[in-house]
Amino acid sequence: MARTLIIPGIDGSPAPHWQHWWASTEAEALMVEQDDWANPDPDQWEVEVAGMILQHPGATQVAHSLGCLVVARLLRRWPQVNISGVVIVAPADPAQSPRLSAFSGLPRGTLGVPAVVVASRNDPWMSFTQATALAADWGADLVDLGFSGHINVASGHGPWPEGRLIREELLARQPRHVLFARTRAPVTLPYGVMN
């Protein structure tokens, strides 16, 4: 199985969140850690994700909630990063909470990699209409999960095996040689990222 980098949202994804479950049960899955889960800083969070991508080129990104915006921002800001694809689960709208205000202004334009947005029709953090529009704007496929809340523990999602199937279907649709097509130039990160 290919490497998977798991990117949680605000407050992280502690057990029994499905992201924690995946990181604990899949040998090839790694959780991207942030220094401060409670007070997210867009630039710092992007740097942490970019640093993990540099250590694991070609990995698939699986993001949840605010983590989705981090990945989208990173792909728009650094289009040369080497990832195989991204599964964007229940993206959060920064307008829903003052804690997310630093992320205001949703990233626009194609992400440039194979992408799937998994959205719920009753997600309190982003309307289904808005998630559908973002998927189209990002050039991503849309998976309608029906009435599934924020696709987290509170909405009854434990290990969430369906999410693994979505990830595997994303990777199966592309020939292996396409996985590294985005690598065109070295990524320049701020000093001290790889300490």
pLDDT at 38: 95
pLDDT at 185: 33
Report the 10 Å Cβ neighbour count for 32: 23
pLDDT at 138: 96
Residue 78 structure tokens: 């650094």
Nearest to 181, CA basis, from 117, 87, 112, 128: 112
pLDDT at 128: 97
Q: Widest CA span of the chain, in angstroms?
A: 44
Residue 124: strand, helix, or coil: coil
One pLDDT digit (tens) per residue for the chain, 195 residues: 579 999 999 999 999 999 999 999 999 999 999 999 999 999 999 999 999 999 999 999 999 999 999 999 999 998 889 999 999 999 999 999 999 999 998 999 999 999 999 999 999 999 999 999 999 999 999 999 999 999 999 998 989 999 999 999 998 876 443 333 333 333 333 333 333
Indicate the length of the chain as a whole number.
195
50 touches 193 (CB < 8 A) = yes
pLDDT at 1: 58
User: If you ran DSSP here, which 8-state letter would residue 100 be given?
Assistant: G
CA 8 to chain centre: 7
pTM assigned to the model: 0.87
Handedness of CA 110, 31, 163, 155 (dihedral sign): negative
